[in-house]
Each structure stands twice: as C-alpha cells, then as structure tokens.
Amino acid sequence: MISYARQNPEQQPDGTPPPAEDHIAPAPRVSVQAFCETVETAGAVQSAGEDRRLGKAHLKIQMGGMAAAVEAYRSAPTPNVIILETEGRSDILSGLDQLATVCDSGTRVIVIGRLNDVALYRELVRRGVSDYVIAPVSTIDIVRSVCNLFSAPEAKAVGRIIAVVGAKGGVGASTLAHNVAWAIARDLALDSVVADLDLAFGTAGLDYNQDPPQGIADAVFSPDRVDTAFIDRLLSKCTDHLSLLAAPATLDRVYDFGADAFDSIFDTLRTTMPCIVLDVPHQWSGWTKRALIAADDILIVAAPDLANLRNTKNIFDLLKASRPNDRAPLYCLNQVGVPKRPEINASEFAKAIESQPIASIPFEPQMFGSAANNGQMIAEISATHRTTEMFLQIAQRLTGRGETKKPRGMSFLSPLIEKLRAK
C-alpha cells in the first residue's frame, strides 16, 4: 500500500493519539471542486470540508466523476483545486487529456483512484496531477492532500498553534503556558511566541519580566494593518528563541471581540513562527472558542476538584466533537497536593474524561510564588526541580519533539514521482 493512504489518526489501533509531528497546515482561501463517483468518497470529501483546516476553503461536491468534470468546465472557469474520483484506468488518462484543454493554468488536480499501479502514477505525473490518493479515502487523507498543495516543504515545521486554557480561573493555565513555552524555546530551540490573550489582566509580561509598550492590542484593534512586518514590531524578545505578544493589562478599554477578531493575527504568526503558544483566558466567548477549535493542539489545565473536573470534561468533549479529525485535547492537573485539601485524584479524572492527564504538577507555593513575584520561570529558580522536568516533558509532548520518532515512510510532500521510485 502506498504510504499516504494512511488511516485516520484518531483511529490508531492501539488508541494512542496521532503523533504531534503529523502536522497539517490549514489551507488558504481557495476554491475546491470535487467530482465523485461513490457516496463513500463524497462523504469523506464532505467531512473534510468541515475540518478546521479547510475552514477557509470553498468546497463544492458533485457526483459524476471525470465525465461530469469535463462537462462542467467546458463553459465554466476551473477552481484552484479539482478533486476527481475515478474507478478505471483508461478513462482517467483520456479524461485528464480532455480536461487539460479546458483547465486554467494554476488549477491543481488531485485524483482519487482504486488502482495501485506505478505505470499509472507515471502517466498521471506526466499530465501534471498533483496528488494521487488510493480509495477508500478517509477524511484526513483529503484534508492532508488539499492542504499540502499549499504548504511548502520547509513550511512543515512552521506555524503550529498550541492553545492553553484553564478549566477554571486561577488554576495556573498562564503559568503553565509561559513555562512550557520557555521550555519549547530554550530546550527544544524552537522559535516561539507567547500570545497573551487575556488583554485586561494577562500576566505574561510580568512573568517574563517585560514591559513592552506595544503588544497584541495594537494588532487586534487595527486589523487592517496586520501583516508580518507589523506583528514583528509588536513582539518583544524574551530569550534567544522566545518572543512575547503582550497584553496591555490596562482597563481603559473593554475587550469585547467578534469571533474572528484574532484570525489574521494567528494566520500572520503562523507564517513565520514555528510555535505559537496561546495563553487563552478562562472565559467562553465566540473568539475563545474559535481559538481553541482552530489550534493545532490544546492543553487544558485543571486543579483537582469537582468544578474543574466537570469543566474539563465539557471543554474536552466539545473540542473532541468539533475536531473529529484531530488528536484529542490534552489536559494536565496542576496545584496537586494542597495540604489538608480533599482532592479528586488523577485516576478519577482519567475515568471521567476517558483520557489520562499528561502531567500532575504539585502545589509548590514557595517556588511558584517567588517565580511569579520575581518575573522568573521555574527553570530559572531551580533547573533541576521535578516541576522543571515536567514542563519540558509537556513541551515535548505538545510539539512532538524529543519523542522517539517512528519512521513515517516517505514524506507526503516529496514529489509524487519520488514516492513512485521508492515503491
């Protein structure tokens, strides 16, 4: 079987989440038209169109395969991407030749077929087909195939968004976001930015001991000016690899945003920054929900009590349902072991959430208190402390770095012909 006819990452047989390095960058605002022959493929394409990564794409699906496509484009202009399902062999090639005469330049073609045949691949490549996916196709196969048409090979590492949110206020979500981002930047040497989305009360500036004059408010209140150069000027550098897009933490304005207010900021950050950590405040609004759903990975931080358990489950279930083609959100426990406080333990959490916490971070008031009041990271206070080690493990888990990587076969982005040679 060819390497890219992979399974839906949610459905790995051993129940482990799909690897974090299986990163598919969202597609830009493109038009996609699919001509299917089977209802199964039409169904997969339909649910791919509902995936967050194709949220900007305009997708149209019709039945009738190659013949319908040739007919349709006799008079109409071709979209950015045509997906063609075809059952046979001779009809693919003659159909593509016909299509070539009506296709606008720049239109890319993805063929879904049943035949696993090198000679056929070569013919398809010769005709300029961008990708060939073997049926039966899963939703994620379609998502990956379309998105990969628009991401350069070197962009593979670029633009992963990690959203960190608390199950309740004050549980340490920001503290974790800042310390984990620090570990990503320092220990994993990934260029990272922390975006403090708690505009009124955010503490990222305090925690990194920075007081920048500009930050995220300048961008969100001037959406027309947002581009790479503009955002670059708003970042303040914390360490070699870490920058901060700080919250103003002032109250002269109110911060009621529309659901897509931060979209252009995130899109812009994605184009230049390998890792973007969102410090999402504990609130449920159109834009916080959207930021969580659109993130590549999510970390929910919970303290070990009943309200946290309920909220973690609600956030977890909602995000899982809204992101059917992604690995499940991750969560961790924090402030575990407050003296004399009755707690709900990790195994009870795991049972209710149906997923294990990725860490249980102890309550250490002395250490966290001095870090917060001195504008330092836990690693700066104690490089060898077990909590420092936990932050590094969370960083590795979230980025997929530092884990032993399983060989993943051929790169999906290598030209089709490379894959054929390797067969």
Ligand X SMILES: Nc1ncnc2c1ncn2[C@@H]1O[C@H](COP(=O)(O)OP(=O)(O)OP(=O)(O)O)[C@@H](O)[C@H]1O
Q: Which stretch binds Mg ion (CB under 5 A): 168-176, 304-312, 350-358, 378-386?
A: 168-176
Which is closer to Mg ion, CB of 144 or CB of 282?
282
Q: Which stretch binds ligand X (CB under 6 A): 68-76, 120-128, 172-180, 344-352?
A: 172-180
Which is closer to Mg ion, CB of 78 or CB of 288?
288
Residue 368 near which of ligand X, Mg ion, none (CB within 5-8 Å, type-dependent): ligand X
> Shortest approach of ligand X to residue 194 CB, angstroms?
12
The residue type found at 337 is: G
Phi/psi at 112 (5° precision): -110, 120
Three-state SS for 332? strand
Q: Does residue 137 interact with ligand X by CB under 6 A?
A: no
Q: Does residue 409 interact with ligand X by CB under 6 A?
A: no
- Answer for which of 174, 288, 396, 399 binds ligand X (CB under 6 A) is 174
Close Cβ partners of 43 (under 8 Å, ≥ 6 residues apart)? none
Which is closer to Mg ion, CB of 144 or CB of 178?
178
Q: How many CB atoms neighbour CB 372 within 10 A?
A: 16
Q: Does residue 174 interact with Mg ion by CB under 5 A?
A: yes
Q: Does residue 325 interact with Mg ion by CB under 5 A?
A: no
> Shortest approach of Mg ion to residue 174 CB, angstroms?
3
Binding flags for ligand X, 261-300, as an x/- string (CB under 6 A): --------------------xx------------------
Q: Does residue 175 interact with ligand X by CB under 6 A?
A: yes
Please answer whether residues 226 and 268 qualify as being in contact, where contact means their C-beta atoms are separated by less than 8 angstroms.
yes
How many residues in total does the chain contain? Answer: 423
Produce one character per residue of 73-102: b if its CB has 16 or more CB atoms within 10 Å, e if not: beeeebbbbbbbbbeeeeebbebbebbeeb
- Answer for which of 77, 128, 153, 170 binds ligand X (CB under 6 A) is 170
DSSP labels, 123-174:
HHHHTT--EEEESSPPHHHHHHHHHHTTS-GGGGGS-EEEEEEESSTTSSHH
Please answer whether residues 35 and 99 qualify as being in contact, where contact means their C-beta atoms are separated by less than 8 angstroms.
no
> Shortest approach of ligand X to residue 3 CB, angstroms?
42
Which is closer to ligand X, CB of 166 or CB of 329?
166
Q: Does residue 368 interact with ligand X by CB under 6 A?
A: yes
Residue nearest to Mg ion (CB): 174
Touching ligand X, residues 305-364 (CB under 6 A): 334-335, 361, 363-364
Q: Which stretch binds ligand X (CB under 6 A): 122-130, 154-162, 173-181, 305-313?
A: 173-181
Q: How many CB atoms neighbour CB 198 within 10 A?
A: 19
Which is closer to ligand X, CB of 279 or CB of 326?
279
Terminus-to-terminus CA distance in the chain, angstroms? 9
Instruction: Say how many residues touch ligand X, by CB under 6 A.
Output: 20
Binding flags for ligand X, 177-216, as an x/- string (CB under 6 A): ---------------------x----x-------------
Q: Does residue 334 interact with Mg ion by CB under 5 A?
A: no
> Shortest approach of Mg ion to residue 52 CB, angstroms?
24
**Four-residue CA torsion sign, 333, 337, 338, 344:** positive
Q: Give the ranges where 90-135 is alpha helix by DSSP (H).
A: 90-100, 118-126
Q: Give the ranges where 164-244 is alpha helix by DSSP (H).
A: 173-186, 204-207, 216-220, 228-234
> Shortest approach of Mg ion to residue 333 CB, angstroms?
17
Q: What does the alpha-carbon distance between residue 318 and residue 323 come to, in Å, rounded to a whole number?
A: 9
Distances, alpha carbon 54 to alpha carbons 8, 57, 58, 264, 296, in Å: 16, 5, 8, 16, 13
Which is closer to ligand X, CB of 265 or CB of 371?
371
> Shortest approach of ligand X to residue 323 CB, angstroms?
23
> Shortest approach of Mg ion to residue 126 CB, angstroms?
55
Strand partners, 360: 333
Residue 296 near which of Mg ion, ligand X, none (CB within 5-8 Å, type-dependent): none
The candidate with the shortest Cα–Cα distance to 309, out of 356, 349, 281, 358, is 349
Name the residues that contact Mg ion, by CB under 5 A. Answer: 174
Name the residues that contact ligand X, by CB under 6 A. Answer: 166, 169-175, 198, 203, 281-282, 334-335, 361, 363-365, 368, 372
